[in-house]
Each structure stands twice: as structure tokens, then as C-alpha cells.
Amino acid sequence: MTVTTSATGHAGDVLAMLIAPLTREQFFAECFERRVHRTHGHHPAVDDLLSMDRIDELISDSELPPNSLSMAKSGESVPPAEYTFDNGIVDRGAVLDNFRDGATIILPQLHYADGKLYQFCLALEREFGARVQTNIYLTPPGSTGFGIHYDDHDVFVIQVAGAKQWEIYGDRDGLPYKGESFRKDHDETGELRDSFVLNPGECLYVPRGTAHRAPNHGTEPSLHITVGILVQTWAEFMLEAVAEASLRIPDLRHSLPRSMFFNSSTAEGAGVADNEATFRRLIRQIAETASFDATRAAFSGNFVRSQGTRTRGALLALAKGIAPDDRFTVREHILYSFETAPVSDGDGEGEDVEHTIVLAGSSIPMSANLAPQLQERIGQGSLAMADFAVEDEEELADIIGTLVAYGLLRP
């Protein structure tokens, strides 16, 4: 199986805003997963991402189902019963009353409801090879949402309005895995290492595992975007490699022996030694059998499939109908992959090759004649059905329509 993943757009411009004045190479070599980095000066692109007026509009006019909003105050979460109705729907008046009383308004995963934030996240996903999310925090003057803590994922903080007094403490011993959240009164935070004010238009990178606190600064409410980088680790890759290799190692299918759990007598000591020998033998078999290419292909395909779709304009194009000369461009920041994989021809004498294009939510098979032409045209960023030389025009029309429906192509 071969995989080619690509995307168009100016993803580097988005990252450049977050890491200025560092280059991409400097950031990944010196800061990523290592140390805090702060940008200085107002970046004008921040003003286009979010505003206090947009938050006011969301709270007053948009649908607010359960879990679309939460609140925190003085380092503790505010019980949902204090700002929701009995059915879980958010009580807008209670939200604003709690805000007036010093509680932070939190809008989790707002990128799913806001096109600009979603496009921003898609651009960063290309840069990090990881899912990206946003949480929005609006903190009233003189308040703080959370106490000293660290996150289990790397974050960029984009200060939109007001200011925050950031306090940077120590690092956890080893980067945390997903789910290894900070435990108050248990995990050490270390000594205060740095303190500074993050002003509107400035950005901050905080690695996972670095303890911090950020109370409001000044007399205005603070509005900031926390951009979470949900990386996948080598541990997850190795687990997938073991799972993939296990399909070709029959001994891994055997059940664990009773002696693995019960060793109440010296007579069973030999069983423990035998089990360890089996363990070592299987480890060697896994090392010899595991396929880097197959594991990488699985990770790549899953990453592409799990990316959210963008379909603005697709409904109008499909309702109108697609003519041979209608030209489409590849939508910015959308990931896709062309894959080829051997498949049995059914008679046991050989293998055929299956060609597919994988994108968010779908895996689309196509003929060997169409696949290389489509890959070339998509790589160029623009196409029309009239550009192709194919025998099966019905297949071409169906594939182009499907790519429009799933958001890879836009009018």
C-alpha cells in the first residue's frame, strides 16, 4: 500500500503567526514539547479570528444545547445546575449573571460552530499532523478560571481582548499521555519560573506537562482562544504496529495460561519462567514481523478519515448539476490520500490492485485508468471533467460529484 497525503493553502502563515519571530524549523527544534514560547506585539490576524461581539452573538442568539458551554470560578468548575435548566439546556441569563459574579465563560470545541476557527484548525492540522481543537475563555476582571495546573496536550494561547497575567511553573517529569490530567493536591507544580502579561494580539505556546496559571490582568474582561494540539505518540504507533503484526503471528491468539496469574507454590515457579520465555519469544516475533509501512498507512488513513469536512458551496453545485466544463479547485487545508493496495483476484493465482482516494468520512474506489489522472489533476489544484481522457464517463462524473459532496472540491 502506498499513501500520498497532500493539502493546499497557506497553513504555514497560520503557524507563523503563533510562533513569530521563530521559523518553523526553529520552533520544532527548540520549543515544541520543550519550553514555553511567547510572541510579542499585536498580530493583526488575531482580530479576524474572534471578538467580544462574536461571543455576545453566540451567547444571545445561537443554539446552546447541553455541553456547549461551561463555567469556572476561582480554580473550580461551576456546577452546571447553576447555569442550565433541568433539561440541560443552557440558561443564558444565568450564564451572564454568573459572569457578572466573577465566573469564566468557557465555549468548548467552538471551531465546530464557527467557520473561521474551523478553517484555522484545519490549517494547523497539516502543520502538526495532529487533530486541533479550540476552547474559548471569557474571564471577567479580577477573576481567574483555573488554578495552577498542566494540560495533557500542547496548547497555543491567542489573546483576543483584555489581558492575562501568566505564571509559568515547573515541568512534569516526562510528557503526559492523553488522560494524564493534573491532579490537584497530588502533582507537583514546581517553583514559579516566569511571570508576564499577555496582551491582545499576542500568542503563547505551552507544552503539555508545564504547570501554569493565568488570572485576569487589568480592568477589562479577558477573551482568549486556547488551541489544543492533540498529538499521537510513538507509544500509540507501536501499539498499532503490534496489533497489525498480530494478524500474522498465530501464537498471539492463544489464551494466557493460568500460571500467569496464580503462583502459590514453588512447583509453579517453572510456569512463571516458561511464561517469561514465551513473552520474550513473542516480542522477537513482533519485532521481526511488524511492518512500518503498513502501520504508517493505517495511521495516515485514519488521520485523513477523521478530519472534519468543509462543504460550503457543495449543495449549490450539486443542485445545479456538474457540466463537463465546470471547473473546481481543491479546498484549502483538506487532507486526502491516494492509496493502492493488492487484493486477491479470487482464483488464488494472483493479485489485482485496488485504487482508492481517502478523505474525511469516505474511501472512494476508482479504476486504474482514472486514478493517476485524478491524482495529477488534484495535485495541480484545479480540474474539470473535460480535462480527463477516460472510457467510463459515468464513473468520472460519479467520482467528481462524490469529491464535491465530501468537500475536497469546491466550485
3-state secondary structure (DSSP) of residue 287: helix
Q: Measured between alpha carbons, how far is 27 from 21 in angstroms, rounded to an integer? A: 9
Q: For 153, what's the count of Cα atoms within 13 Å in the CB-facing half-sphere? A: 19
Under 8 Å between Cβ of 46 and 158: yes
In this prediction, residue 185 has a pLDDT band, given cuts at 50, 70 and 90, of confident
Under 8 Å between Cβ of 242 and 79: no
pTM of the model: 0.86
- pLDDT single digits (tens) 230-261: 999 999 999 999 999 999 999 999 999 888 88
Helices (H), 247-324: 269-289, 292-306, 314-320
Q: Which residues pair with 212 in a beta bridge?
A: 149, 168
The DSSP 8-state label assigned to residue 41 in this structure reads S
Q: How far is CA 321 from CA 235, 267, 330, 398, 403, in A?
A: 47, 77, 18, 12, 14
Q: Sign of dihedral through CA atoms 122, 128, 132, 138?
A: negative
The DSSP 8-state label assigned to residue 300 in this structure reads H
| Strand-pair category, 163-171 with 216-217 | antiparallel
Question: Is pLDDT above 60 for 268?
Answer: no
- pLDDT single digits (tens) 38-70: 999 999 999 999 999 999 999 999 888 888 999
**DSSP state string for 146-204:** --SB--SSEEEEEEEESEEEEEEEEE-SSPPPTT----TTTS------EEEEEPTT-EE
For the beta carbon of residue 273, count every other beta carbon within 10 angstroms: 10
Question: Is pLDDT above 80 for 12?
Answer: no
pLDDT-above-90 percentage for the chain: 73
Question: Is pLDDT above 50 for 2?
Answer: no
**281 CB-near residues (< 8 Å, 6+ apart):** 251
In this prediction, residue 308 has a pLDDT band, given cuts at 50, 70 and 90, of confident
Q: Measured between alpha carbons, how far is 352 from 369 in angstroms, rounded to an integer? A: 14
Region 199-223: what's the mean pLDDT? 95
Q: Measured between alpha carbons, how far is 126 from 164 in angstroms, rounded to an integer? A: 29
- pLDDT single digits (tens) 126-144: 899 999 999 999 999 988 8
Whole-number pLDDT of residue 300? 87
